[in-house]
Amino acid sequence: SQKIEQNSEALNIQEGKTATLTCNYTNYSPAYLQWYRQDPGRGPVFLLLIRENEKEKRKERLKVTFDTTLKQSLFHITASQPADSATYLCAPYNQGGKLIFGQGTELSVKP
Amino acid sequence: NAGVTQTPKFQVLKTGQSMTLQCAQDMNHEYMSWYRQDPGMGLRLIHYSVGAGITDQGEVPNGYNVSRSTTEDFPLRLLSAAPSQTSVYFCAVQSPGVTEAFFGQGTRLTVV
């Protein structure tokens, strides 16, 4: 069955550093991969989407890579800020309406 | 536009009771999904629908029923609530293709 793994341990970093979150998947080949942010008590909010034929995608301080050989996506936040503290979820996707998420990685950025 | 609206926001049920969690959208998106979120487990897909009259099972469908009679609504039914169904439930909508999902604000359900 499809399996998605994200860093289960919380990631603690200092303000200004780059945060790197990992998403690994097995037993399927997604056409694209989405990243979401979730704050406590709220629903997830979409951040970025990368297609299988794109190696890298950027949006402001965010960067996502997608390696279909390794079956892995990396999510980077550069110049991190305390406001970036949240849980980040990845969702490899093949369309068709069935959107499955990883368990999420909690990021804490300390001032 | 309200987007995705879930009701109620909070609910306490006794074991064996039934209830329906409501999800309504005004975004005209064809796909709708229900997730549950437990500590350390992330979002797990319960059921999803790709259009009116079409539903399918997700990762954890047992104990839940759904139907989709209109594009706008996708109710989730618990026929006989169990403590294991204590969770936060999220509804999401999405359009076909390479598109993002939009989530409701969640329903926090406690079964005692």
pLDDT of residue B41: 80
Residue A51: CB atoms within 10 A of its CB come to 12
Residues of chain A found within 8 Å of residue B43, distances taken between Cβ atoms: 44, 89, 101, 104
pLDDT surpasses 90 at A9: no
Tell me the C-alpha distance between A88 and A105, whole Å.
5
Nearest chain B Cα to A88, which residue? B42
Residues near B23 by beta carbon (within 8 Å), at least 6 away in sequence: B4, B5, B6, B32, B34, B73, B74, B75, B76, B91, B104
Residues near A74 by beta carbon (within 8 Å), at least 6 away in sequence: A20, A21, A22, A23, A64, A65
Average pLDDT, chain A: 94
Instruction: Label residue B34 by pLDDT band (50, 70, 90).
Output: very high
pLDDT surpasses 90 at B78: yes
pLDDT of residue B110: 97
> Is there a contact between A103 and B41 (Cβ–Cβ < 8 Å)?
yes
Smallest CA–CA distance, residue B105 to chain A, in Å, is 5
Residue B70: CB atoms within 10 A of its CB come to 10
pLDDT surpasses 80 at B40: no
> Is residue A44 within 8 angstroms of chain B, CB to CB?
yes
What token pair was written down for A3? 């399996």
Q: Do B49 and A97 touch (CB under 8 A)?
A: yes
Q: What is the pLDDT of residues A92-101, one digit of tens each?
A: 998 788 999 9
